[in-house]
Amino acid sequence: MTDFFIREATLRTPRIELNPDTQTLLIEGESYPEDVNRFYDPVFEALDHYFSQPRCKLRCTFNLSYFNSSSARQLLEVVNRLEAQVNKGHEIHVEWRCLSDDDIMQEFAEDIAEEVTTLPFHIRIIERDDT
């Protein structure tokens, strides 16, 4: 299979973990890197490598508390690439977590949910005290 991919969170970047053993992708934290392409390009490469195998499965969790507009475009690109892989026969499920009082994040997730047609995309509203 593919290699384990991890980027630890910093003050400006999210933790990103692609684990082939558990068939999971996690993106969590805040995203406003100085060079958004330099940060996300290796993520796209890791996803391309992961999906080079036939009929992969992947459960994706987006758990972001903040991102800037440049990151929003990259996150949308992640989702678009995931949908493209569904269209190639891979089984992918996305859960986008939003805090119940974060209207901006909820609206962004709803916009994405309206755009995807074949990618199973679930928005999970959580309370601040949920874990």
**For 33-89, how does the pLDDT look when each residue is reduced to its tens digit (9 = 90+)?**
999 999 999 999 999 999 999 899 999 999 999 999 999 999 999 999 999 999 999
Inform me whether the pLDDT recorded for 130 exceeds 90: no
User: Mind listing the pLDDT tens digit for each residue in 107-128?
Assistant: 999 999 999 999 999 999 999 7
**What integer pLDDT is reported at residue 69 of this predicted model?**
95
Pinpoint the alpha helices (H) of the chain: 36-50, 69-87, 103-115
User: How many percent of the chain have pLDDT more than 70?
Assistant: 96
Q: Does domain 5-126 have CATH number 3.30.750.24?
A: yes
**What integer pLDDT is reported at residue 128 of this predicted model?**
78
Residue whose token pair is 């392409």: 37
Inform me whether the pLDDT recorded for 6 exceeds 70: yes
**What integer pLDDT is reported at residue 3 of this predicted model?**
80
- C-beta of residue 105 within 8 angstroms of C-beta of residue 64: yes
Cα(15)–Cα(53) distance, rounded to whole angstroms? 24
- Under the banding of pLDDT at 50, 70 and 90, the label for residue 30 is very high
In b/e form, how buried is each residue of 51-89, taking b as 16+ CB within 10 angstroms?
beeeebebbbbbbbeebeebbbebbeebbebbbebbeee
